[in-house]
Amino acid sequence: MSARAIRLTVNGVAHECTVEPRLLLSDFLRQTLGLTGTHVGCEHGVCGACTIMLDGDSVRSCLLFAVQADGAQVETVEGLGAIGRLNALQEAFHTHHALQCGFCTPGMLITASDLIKKYPLLSDDDIREGLSGNLCRCTGYEHIVRAIRAVAGKEDAP
Amino acid sequence: MKPAAFDYIVADSIDAAVKALAAANGEAKLIAGGQSLVPMLNFRLLRPAILVDINRIPGLAFVEETTDAIHVGALTRHHRLETSPVIAEHLPVLAEAMRHVAHLAIRNRGTIGGSLSHGDPAAELPMLALLLDATLDIASPSGRRTVAAKDFFLGALTVDLAGDEMLTRIVFPRLPPSTGWGFAEVARRSGDFALAAVAATVSVADGVIKQARIAVTGVDETAKRADEAEALLAGQALTSERVDAAIAAVRAGVTPATDLHASSDYRRHLVGVLAGRALTAAWARARGDGA
């Protein structure tokens, strides 16, 4: 099937590539661009590990084809910060022990960024609801909720 | 977990999309948000020769008010419906239902036209289209037609769309005056498909129900209206006896499946409980003693 040329910006860097239509955006990021921070778990939109920002909205990169991202602005976990200059949310994950094995962390960080942007997150229940599409098998979620709470602000009443 | 190869066409207009469908003789699929389609491609449950991408068609994502209806473009994403002030003001039951549709990352991408065209028997949007007596505008190379939601859902994942047809717009009539609403759902996890869900509206005049509408999902081959329960309520005040009678009628009117998640008996029980809650909330709102 005929490959197509695409142009897109990933973490502020412009790329021009030729891709087969069936290439998932998740595989494009990891294998074509070498950005392995985006993790691939279930490949059918359930686990949330591959969540990235597409034009400012969190989306599953395993449910998009790279050809569909032609012209798009993509942000992955690599765009949030780096060792030595973590962003506030990454710092909070560090401080609150919000990761153990780290597999879910890129998706958690991107999801949390979008939740903080779009919802008031007045209660921890709102945060838990917002994280319900991201699976973590290590932490029991509690520390992830605390990390997001630290950045989102308002605490639950004691 | 990788899709089979396909050719990819970007449609820049509705006409281009339906012509591409017609030219492919049933070998093409439309892709909008892709939140149901791409998992099926990744599992190779579907192997279309061609994907026709409608995401770049201008003017297909909108929420507009007219004097008698709210018009929603087929490419409108779930998150936009969830947060639209127009939907919140005029169709609050739809706004409430959107909070139960999957997760933010799915709602950012998934579309109303895609959800209705997919026709999942446990999804919320088919239930809301039925509840609100929506009409659906459909385009094909030979013209346009309109179908009522009640005639659109034919079976599990089966809707009244020919191979060269595309859903373009959903028209929701405004709610009548003095109408309250209720929505109740149980899913195994937040954002999962419903084990059962019920949406209801109750329109009140002179202290009695002028019209009750009840729609259910997750408990039959498709979402459906509970016609017999609705008929029991017309002209009545909502007493606890009437609620019980409506619950019994809702349960009698569905044929739930047994699967890994729940038995048929449990789903039948559950849909009755949820119908009671939705009706009670709708009645209270209609009378102004809820909010």
SS (H, E, C) B155-166: ECCEECCCCCCE
User: B180-286 falls under which CATH superfamily?
Assistant: CO dehydrogenase flavoprotein, C-terminal domain (3.30.390.50)
Q: How many helices (H) and strands (E) does chain B have?
A: 11, 14
CA distance B19 to chain A (A): 20
Residue carrying the six token digits 């070998």: B27
- Answer whether B102 touches A (CB < 8 Å): yes
Domain B7-53 and domain B64-173 have a common topology: no
pLDDT for residue A64 is more than 90? yes
Question: What is the domain class of B7-53 according to CATH?
Answer: alpha beta
Is-contact B10 A16, C-beta < 8 A? no
Nearest to A111 among B39, B51, B105 (CB): B105
- Cβ distance A60 to B105 less than 8 Å, yes or no, reads yes
> Using 50, 70 and 90 to split pLDDT, how confident is the model at A158?
very low
Tokens, residue A34: 């070498």
Is-contact B216 B127, C-beta < 8 A? yes
pLDDT of residue B289: 63
Nearest to A68 among B42, B55, B104 (CB): B55
Spell out which residues of chain A touch residue B34, defining contact as CB-CB under 8 Å: 63-64, 68
Q: How many CB atoms lie within 10 A of CB A33?
A: 19
**Domains of chain B by residue range:** 7-53, 64-173, 180-286
Rounded to two decimals, the ipTM of the complex is 0.95
- Cα gap A7→B86, rounded to integer Å: 36
Q: Which residues contact A9 (CB under 8 A, 6 or more apart)?
A: A15, A72, A73, A74
- Answer whether B103 touches A (CB < 8 Å): yes
pLDDT of residue A74: 98
Mutate to test the interface with B, among A18, A60, A126 (most CBs of B within 10 A): A60
- Cβ distance B109 to A60 less than 8 Å, yes or no, reads yes
Residues 37-56 of B with CB under 8 A from A: 38-39, 42-43, 51, 53, 55
Q: For the domain bounded by B64-173, which CATH number is listed?
A: 3.30.465.10
- Answer whether B115 touches A (CB < 8 Å): no
- Answer whether B187 touches A (CB < 8 Å): no
pLDDT of residue B13: 98
Cα–Cα distances in Å, from B85 out to A35, B79, B81, B95, B113?
A: 38, 12, 9, 9, 20
User: Which segments of chain B have a pLDDT < 70?
Assistant: 289-291
pLDDT 10s digits, A14-63: 999 999 999 999 999 999 999 999 999 999 999 999 999 999 999 999 99
- Answer whether B3 touches A (CB < 8 Å): yes
Question: What's the pTM?
Answer: 0.96
pLDDT 10s digits, B67-115: 999 999 999 999 999 999 999 999 999 999 999 999 999 999 999 999 9
Spell out which residues of chain B touch residue A130, defining contact as CB-CB under 8 Å: 103-104
